[in-house]
Amino acid sequence: MVVGETRHPRSGVDFPGTWQAFESWFPDDRACREFLARVRWPDGFVCPACGGGDAWLTGRGLWMCRGCGRQTSVTAGTIFHRSRYPLRTWFAAMWFVCSQKNGVSALGLQRVLGFGSYETAWAWLHKLRRAMVRPDRELLGGEGVSVEVDQTFLGGIGPARSRSGPRYANKAEVVIAVERQHPKGLGRARLAHIATEDRKAEILEFTRHNIAHGTILYTDGEPSYAAAAKVLQLHHEPVVVSHSPNPAHELLPAVHRVASLLKRWIAGTLHDRISDQHLAYYLDEFTFRFNRRTSRSRGLLWYRLVQQAADTDPHPLPTLHHKM
């Protein structure tokens, strides 16, 4: 929820609930700019240069600060910054991305919006993926809450039975954390790409940035998880899969369920066309969708994405291609 918002957003009041309502709310770009201004500055305009709030709207649609004289566009500093396309097209793209339960591929977005190039649709989706995860989001778990953590492997052919040789070299390792709900069910999830050879350090950082103190941590017998739990003073309940008559998906059902959904989503929506270079952002999109899977309002998902897009840096095309 953005600063200044004290109630839960309501369909038909804070955001359009249907596509028909969307068309009514946003007949032109001016209506889109006015809406974005309310989302970006819910308590009134704030000058990015001097922090002043006294401003007036020019005929060109820019905010003129009375304090320092700076002119500011409502899209400046957001993912919409300096886009050649109308803001309404951006809003429509975001609606299409959120209204589809499993998302959309770049080719699908290109076709529905009539872009002249595949690269434009690809770039838009990657910009939106960078807005799908808030850096200040709440940690998983908490006092007495159970969280499972395990890894899965994406890509390549055949199982990754060891961490050396051809069976492992062509796969990407992903660590998954999922809240257990009692008596059954799954809570929120977090995912990250293990991108370096220092797995122990990466798993420690993943746990530090995603698991709250007081959490009961369930993992397999991997030493890296035990080390992370010790450093962060988490209650650790290791499950040694090799010593149990039960299969791994029964001992750690939450992470195996999420891993299965992740692979199904990558195959069905992205057609297995992902690269290690951008895998972290695909994982962000999956996390955004999974953690909002019970939402009955697609319009609310769109509204949340607009809020986060207004608080996300522009990310020009060269930075999207740059290797992380």
What is the model's pLDDT at position 134?
Answer: 84
List for the chain the helix, strand, coil content (%; round to 5).
Answer: 40, 15, 45
The answer on 277 and 312 residing in a single domain is no
Q: What CATH code is carried by the domain that includes residue 161?
A: 3.30.420.10
Q: Per-residue confidence of the chain (324 residues) as pLDDT tens digits?
A: 444 445 788 999 999 999 999 999 999 999 999 999 999 999 999 998 899 899 998 988 899 999 999 999 999 999 999 899 999 999 999 999 998 888 899 999 999 999 999 999 999 999 999 999 887 889 999 999 999 999 999 986 555 444 555 445 678 999 999 999 987 899 999 999 998 889 999 999 999 999 999 999 999 988 999 999 999 999 999 987 766 666 667 789 999 999 999 999 999 888 777 888 889 999 999 999 999 998 888 899 999 999 999 999 988 777 776 543
Task: Give yes or no for a contact between 103 and 97, defined as CB atoms under 8 angstroms apart.
Answer: yes
Task: Give yes or no for a contact between 299 and 63, defined as CB atoms under 8 angstroms apart.
Answer: no
Task: Give yes or no for a contact between 176 and 193, defined as CB atoms under 8 angstroms apart.
Answer: no
In a domain, 200, yes or no: yes
* Cis status of the peptide bond prior to 183, with omega within 30 of 0: yes
In a domain, 241, yes or no: yes
What is the model's pLDDT at position 101?
Answer: 85
The answer on 200 and 315 residing in a single domain is no
The answer on 316 and 197 residing in a single domain is no
State which H helix or E strand residue 309 sits in: helix 298-309
Q: Give me the domain span that covers residue 92.
A: 19-42+75-129+298-321
Query: How many of the other CB atoms lie within 10 Å of CB of 252?
Result: 22
What is the model's pLDDT at position 100?
Answer: 86
Task: Give yes or no for a contact between 65 and 44, defined as CB atoms under 8 angstroms apart.
Answer: no
What is the model's pLDDT at position 245?
Answer: 64
Check residue 136 and report its DSSP letter: T
Is 286 in a helix, a strand, or coil?
A: helix
Task: Give yes or no for a contact between 53 and 45, defined as CB atoms under 8 angstroms apart.
Answer: yes
What is the model's pLDDT at position 158?
Answer: 53
The answer on 99 and 215 residing in a single domain is no
- In what order do the strands lie in the sheet containing 71-72? 55-57, 63-65, 71-72
Question: What are the DSSP calls for 257-288, one per residue?
Answer: HHHHHHHHHHHHTSTT---GGGHHHHHHHHHH
Q: Say how far apart CA 130 and CA 127 lie, in whole Å.
A: 5
In a domain, 1, yes or no: no
CB hemisphere CA count around 319 (13 angstroms): 9
Cβ contacts of 238 within 8 Å, gap of 6 or more:
218, 219, 220, 221, 225, 226
The answer on 272 and 171 residing in a single domain is yes
CA neighbor of 307 nearest in space, from 52, 94, 56 = 94
The pTM of this model reads: 0.86
Query: Is residue 187 packed enough to be buried (19+ CB in 10 Å), middle (13-18) or exposed (0-12)?
Result: middle
In a domain, 68, yes or no: no
Check residue 241 and report its DSSP letter: G
In a domain, 106, yes or no: yes
The answer on 108 and 208 residing in a single domain is no
What is the model's pLDDT at position 15?
Answer: 96
The answer on 187 and 165 residing in a single domain is yes
Report the length, in residues, of the chain. Answer: 324
What is the model's pLDDT at position 133?
Answer: 86
The answer on 264 and 172 residing in a single domain is yes
Q: Say how far apart CA 234 and CA 232 lie, in whole Å.
A: 6
Q: Say how far apart CA 137 and CA 25 lie, in whole Å.
A: 29
The answer on 109 and 198 residing in a single domain is no
The answer on 190 and 166 residing in a single domain is yes
In a domain, 252, yes or no: yes
In a domain, 48, yes or no: no
The answer on 160 and 123 residing in a single domain is no
Domain count, the chain: 2
What is the model's pLDDT at position 166?
Answer: 45
The answer on 285 and 214 residing in a single domain is yes
Q: Say how far apart CA 4 and CA 164 lie, in whole Å.
A: 52
Check residue 11 and report its DSSP letter: B
In a domain, 49, yes or no: no
